[in-house]
């Protein structure tokens, strides 16, 4: 269990440093630290799982990888725009939805980028 939890503790510690560095604005600090934490969790926990699954199912890095990364990036950007809009018009429901979207898109982006990199490393090592 320690081996599984240590990366999470490290990610959360680094997120607290990001929060402290951006604490000039509380809402910005929470958002940036949350994006950092969810991206890190995606890299550490989701990326290797995706890479192993892609390897098991014989998937190779293909032109679809950039499309998946683009979709996650667009969803993340849309969530940031939605967060700004929700804050401006003070709509709590929109804030909740866009915050969830931002966390999930950050996690997906981290996982996709990590698995893509792992797949490239494995494909070069197999030569």
Question: For 42-96, how does the pLDDT look when each residue is reduced to its tens digit (9 = 90+)?
Answer: 999 999 988 888 778 765 555 566 788 888 899 999 999 998 899 899 888 898 8
Q: Which residues have a Cβ under 8 Å from the Cβ of 58 and sit 6 or more positions away?
A: none
Closest alpha carbon to 98 in 113, 119, 84: 84
- pTM as predicted: 0.83
Query: In Å, how far from its chain's centre is CA 119?
Result: 18
Question: How many CB atoms within 10 Å of residue 76?
Answer: 22
**pLDDT value for 126:** 55
Going by pLDDT thresholds of 50, 70 and 90, the confidence category of residue 20 is very high
Tokens of 127: 């030569």
Q: Running DSSP on this structure, what letter comes out for residue 25?
A: S
**pLDDT value for 116:** 84
Could you tell me what percent of the chain has a pLDDT over 70?
Answer: 91
């Amino acid at each position: 269990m320690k081996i599984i939890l240590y990366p999470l503790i490290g990610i959360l510690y680094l997120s607290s440093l990001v929060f402290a560095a951006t604490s000039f604005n509380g809402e910005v600090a929470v958002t940036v630290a949350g994006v950092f934490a969810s991206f890190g969790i995606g890299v550490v926990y989701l990326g290797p799982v995706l890479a192993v699954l892609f390897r098991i199912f014989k998937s190779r890095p293909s032109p679809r990888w950039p499309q998946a990364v683009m979709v996650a990036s667009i969803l993340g950007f849309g969530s940031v725009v939605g967060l700004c809009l929700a804050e401006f018009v003070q709509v709590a429901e929109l804030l909740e939805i866009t915050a969830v979207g931002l966390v999930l898109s950050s996690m997906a982006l981290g996982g996709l980028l990590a698995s893509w990199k792992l797949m490239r490393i494995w494909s070069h090592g197999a030569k």
